[in-house]
């Protein structure tokens, strides 16, 4: 009997969130990641659809790392009936123990706010995808694994984890699939999120050489950062802080609570200690960041520059706020201060309250320090919106909006190519995932001469491929890719993206970038109003 192996792409397909891949043989099924979709409204609605597979058929889940776009639907998976083991590194398990309950808590709060509005509008109430209690319940199924050690995860499947250099505990996962005894296994590598060179707290990413199939992220496949050394990064941050200083001002930094916040803390404290910037209070206004920082402290021996992190955590300039009352008390400060709060794309958490309080004031600066996905409030601010809606209210934007995309946890195009070349040969096929279409297409073009074009694939959501020893073959879908409730809606996000390209092409010879940006913002508002 010929070896039969199928790979299904149920997330992170031509988008940067919702990572979820299913490997299937005649004897077992395993998931790699089970992440939450973030970004546009149409993407977020995918979190509410039924899983496109039978939960009782899933034997195990292998988790690359704890970020919510890779782990965020695990509580829903367990709540729905998945009872198998969840394999992750010890650090990922520790981080998931605080990140997943926090995700459930945020959903409960957002649904509570939405239902208050729905009652006023005469609309039916909704329920959260899962609660904090559901998230705590799923943690009992986590099983810790070591790097560079083979682990049997399901009949015919074994996995080996490699440090991905992206986040504390992050991994690329090597899989050997052997559905029939006596046959040589097919080797796959799932990159997870690949960290860049010169990351403050992480060592450079690792991985095996030679595999049959590689599933690889492409988030920054169209980006070539210049100098990203720690010294250059700190000098750029220094300049942004100096430019933001106002007597009664604030520097708001929307930041992922896990790793990005800790990196910023180390650099800001370091700059203040040596006198490169004036000393000012740094408020870490995120209960999740507070808990995550303690986990980082416990795992400091696994980190590069772990001692600097511990020193920053103990600095008198860093102040952690736990309660809502402590968070509100920051508003009473009448001198320059810095607030770091989640979420990094301004989609949830306390940063939205601070933005609502400060965006309309010209003494405020908002510093975006990471990737902003299409449809997120962070991306809307980044693109120059003059007004935004927060908690159902329109807010005028007078604050300075700045971008400093040097803290990314993702490798850029040259770093991705270098990582791929170290993994060669990739014998049968390369699947590009976890990237917006423009970035993915640019990276695919950059691979000419490295990988044959016919062996590079950019799957769509819910597509499946038959993986043989010779090649990957697309399987014709037998069921609709999306639930009727979603396919029946107008996906304004995708239409917006296509129209933006058309507008840019039409105007690039007759208008400058600022003029095009104005047209694009007006188009976005019109589409949002129609939706």
pLDDT digits (tens, 9 = 90+) for 381-423: 999 999 999 988 899 999 999 999 888 889 999 999 999 999 9
What pLDDT is recorded for position 433?
A: 97
- CA 138, 139, 141, 147 dihedral sign is positive
pLDDT tier at 198 (50, 70, 90 boundaries)? Answer: confident
The maximal CA–CA distance of the chain, rounded, in angstroms, is 75
How far apart are the C-alpha atoms of 411 and 205, rounded to whole Å? 10
Bridging pattern class, strands 364-368 and 250-254: parallel
Q: Does the pLDDT of residue 84 top 60, yes or no?
A: yes
Please give the model's pTM, rounded to 2 decimal places: 0.83
Q: Which two tokens stand for residue 110?
A: 């957002």
Q: Does residue 375 or residue 513 have the better pLDDT?
A: 375
pLDDT digits (tens, 9 = 90+) for 3-26: 589 999 999 999 999 999 999 998
Residue range 102-131: mean pLDDT, rounded = 89
> How high is the mean pLDDT of the chain?
88
pLDDT tier at 520 (50, 70, 90 boundaries)? Answer: low
pLDDT tier at 39 (50, 70, 90 boundaries)? Answer: confident
Question: Which range among 176-180, 255-259, 268-272 has the greatest average pLDDT?
Answer: 268-272
Query: Which of 21, 9, 8 is closest to 173 using CA atoms?
Result: 21
What pLDDT is recorded for position 522?
A: 53
CB 314 within 8 A of CB 371: no
Helical H runs in 300-435? 306-313, 324-329, 350-358, 377-382, 413-423
pLDDT digits (tens, 9 = 90+) for 334-380: 899 999 998 888 887 899 999 999 999 999 999 999 878 777 899 99
What pLDDT is recorded for position 337?
A: 97
Partnered with residue 142 across adjacent β-strands are 86
What pLDDT is recorded for position 517?
A: 54
Q: Which two tokens stand for residue 160?
A: 């080996």
Residue range 83-112: mean pLDDT, rounded = 95
What pLDDT is recorded for position 515?
A: 54
pLDDT digits (tens, 9 = 90+) for 236-257: 999 999 999 999 999 999 998 9
What pLDDT is recorded for position 50?
A: 93
pLDDT digits (tens, 9 = 90+) for 457-498: 999 999 999 999 889 999 976 444 444 333 333 343 444 444
What pLDDT is recorded for position 183?
A: 78
What pLDDT is recorded for position 93?
A: 98
CB atoms within 10 A of CB 67: 26
Q: Which residue has the tokens 């693109």?
A: 383
Q: Does the pLDDT of residue 182 top 50, yes or no?
A: yes
How buried is 461 (Cβ within 10 angstroms: 0-12 exposed, 13-18 middle, 19+ buried)?
A: buried
Q: Does the pLDDT of residue 69 top 60, yes or no?
A: yes
What pLDDT is recorded for position 226?
A: 74
pLDDT tier at 154 (50, 70, 90 boundaries)? Answer: very high
Q: Does residue 324 or residue 517 have the better pLDDT?
A: 324
Is the preceding peptide bond at 343 cis, omega within 30 degrees of 0? yes
What pLDDT is recorded for position 518?
A: 53
What pLDDT is recorded for position 44?
A: 84
At 176, which helix (H) or strand (E)?
Answer: strand 171-177
């Amino acid at each position: 009997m010929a070896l039969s192996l199928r790979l299904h792409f149920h997330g992170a397909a031509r988008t940067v969130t919702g990572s979820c891949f299913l490997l299937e043989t005649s004897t077992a099924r395993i998931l790699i990641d089970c992440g939450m979709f973030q970004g546009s409204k149409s993407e977020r609605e995918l979190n509410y659809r039924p899983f496109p597979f039978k939960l009782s058929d899933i034997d195990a889940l292998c988790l690359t790392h704890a970020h919510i776009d890779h782990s965020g639907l695990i509580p829903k998976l367990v709540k729905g009936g998945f009872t198998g083991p969840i394999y992750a590194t010890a650090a990922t398990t520790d981080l998931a123990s605080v990140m997943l309950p926090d995700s459930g808590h945020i959903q409960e709060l957002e649904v509570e706010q939405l239902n208050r509005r729905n009652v006023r509008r005469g609309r039916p109430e909704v329920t959260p995808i899962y609660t904090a209690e559901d998230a705590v319940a799923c943690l009992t199924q986590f099983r810790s694994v070591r790097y560079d050690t083979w682990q049997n995860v399901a009949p015919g499947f074994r996995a080996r984890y490699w440090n991905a250099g992206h986040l504390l505990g992050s991994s690329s996962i090597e899989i050997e699939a052997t559905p029939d005894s006596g046959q040589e296994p097919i080797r796959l590598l799932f990159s997870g999120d690949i960290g860049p060179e010169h990351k403050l707290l992480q060592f450079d990413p690792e991985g095996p050489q030679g595999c049959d199939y590689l599933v690889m992220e492409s988030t920054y496949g169209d980006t070539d950062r210049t100098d990203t050394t720690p010294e250059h990064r700190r000098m750029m941050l220094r300049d942004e802080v100096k430019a933001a200083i106002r007597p009664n001002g604030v520097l708001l930094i929307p930041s992922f609570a896990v790793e990005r916040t800790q990196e910023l803390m180390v650099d800001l404290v370091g700059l203040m200690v040596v006198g490169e910037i004036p000393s000012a209070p740094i408020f870490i206004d995120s209960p999740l960041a507070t808990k995550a920082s303690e986990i980082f402290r416990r795992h400091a021996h696994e980190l590069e520059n772990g001692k600097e992190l511990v020193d920053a955590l103990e600095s008198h300039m860093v102040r952690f706020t736990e309660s809502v009352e402590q968070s509100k008390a920051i508003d009473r400060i009448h001198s320059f201060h810095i607030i770091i709060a989640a979420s990094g794309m301004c989609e949830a958490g306390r940063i939205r309250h601070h933005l609502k309080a400060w965006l309309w004031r010209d003494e405020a600066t908002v510093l975006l320090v990471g990737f902003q996905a299409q449809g997120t409030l962070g991306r809307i601010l980044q693109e120059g919106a003059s007004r935004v809606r927060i908690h159902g209210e329109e807010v005028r934007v007078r604050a300075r909006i700045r971008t400093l995309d040097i803290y990314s946890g993702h490798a850029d195009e040259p770093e991705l190519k270098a990582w791929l070349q170290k993994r060669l040969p990739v014998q049968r096929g390369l699947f590009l995932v976890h990237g917006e279409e423009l970035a993915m297409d640019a990276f695919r073009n950059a691979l000419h001469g490295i990988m044959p074009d016919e062996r590079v694939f950019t799957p769509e959501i819910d597509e499946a491929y038959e993986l043989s020893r010779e090649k990957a073959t697309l399987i014709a879908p037998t069921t609709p890719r999306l639930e009727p409730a979603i396919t029946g809606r107008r996906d304004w996000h995708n239409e917006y993206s296509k129209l933006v390209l058309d507008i840019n092409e039409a105007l690039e010879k007759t208008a400058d970038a600022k003029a095009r940006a104005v047209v694009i913002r007006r188009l976005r508002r019109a589409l949002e109003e129609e939706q």
